[in-house]
Amino acid sequence: MTPAVITLVVGAAFSLAASAVLVTRIERLGERFRLSEAMLGLVAALAADTPEITSASAALAHGQRAVGVGVVLGSNVFNLAALLGLGAVMAGRISLHRRVVALEGAVGLWMAAVSICALAGLIGPRTGLALVLVVLLPYAYLCAVRPPSRGRLRLPAGITRWLAEAITEEEQEVRPALHPAAARPSDAISALTAAIALVIVLVASLAMEQAATSLGTRLAVPPIVTGGIVLAAVTSLPNAVTAVYLARRGRGAATLSEAMNSNTLNVAFGLFLPAAITGVVTAGGSAGLVATWYAVMTLGVLALAMLHSGLTRRTGALVIAAYAAFVVILVTR
């Protein structure tokens, strides 16, 4: 076993363990600061996304654009298969409210569309970041607002009521799924533990990116495959474990939220933020294929969820099959 492989395996193990600690500590601190359940779910997804975001940012900073883009968009494709497809297969069914599917789906499809436009060269990275934030920031604000204030949003009454009901339906499952401990004086220790876990995740993610890139170069593996399949799957493991756990406990909305929030945050902070700094987001034709597959799979999963008010074991298997086809096409392209 080569040093690069050992580094990749050890880095993945440390990243998975530290990510689990980081998420639980973030949940506890969120309770301390009285975050709403929807916002707590969003923050927890960001914490779980740290490996993907760090690996992608490091690759883009090193000029490995295909690897960086592959990590982000490949992770998003993997998330749809592992979080929702595998979750449905393992649980037998993921039941979903149509309002939750529509709200999460609208945000997710917007992120996918902006990604395709950027990789096609239709918009620059800074424009892409602006377009992502114009949807992400209002969505985050809506999640942050507590229930009594949601009915007072400065929007038409029908839209305000619909949004409030969608977030409330999502929170009904997010609340029991997160299990944050009650705030207590020892939360200072939780903050320190979270900081240490974050450092471990960052170091492990950087090591994985360098090891995977080095190994891919040595074996003549295309960079988009290194990022879009290898690093994408390895860095997404924390989210996958959490989502399967939620699905098996019947928390459909929480599972969908985990998948869609993860994908949204990957695009915002793993792709467009570092790309806006480096000034480059395009990464070749294969990256466009990954972005298109991500968009089509997102649309397909949402359509199935709307049609069946959730995902069944059969539709979950179909999502997994779509991911398997993605891997085969990307490897043999």
37-46+65-180+221-332: in CATH 2.40.10.10: no
In sequence order, the β-bridge partners of residue 311 are 94
- Within 8 A by CB and 6+ apart from 68, the residues are 55, 56, 57, 58, 59, 60, 227, 270, 271, 274, 283
Question: In the chain, count of helices (H) and strands (E)?
Answer: 17, 2
Helix (H, G, I), strand (E, B) or coil at 93: strand
For the chain, domain boundaries: 37-46+65-180+221-332
pLDDT digits (tens, 9 = 90+) for 63-78: 888 888 889 999 999 9
pLDDT digits (tens, 9 = 90+) for 144-191: 876 666 656 666 777 777 777 777 776 665 555 555 455 455 556 767
pLDDT digits (tens, 9 = 90+) for 183-239: 455 556 767 887 888 888 888 888 888 888 888 888 888 888 888 898 888 888 877
- Within 8 A by CB and 6+ apart from 263, the residues are 75, 76, 79, 80, 108, 111, 112, 294, 298
Reported pTM: 0.86
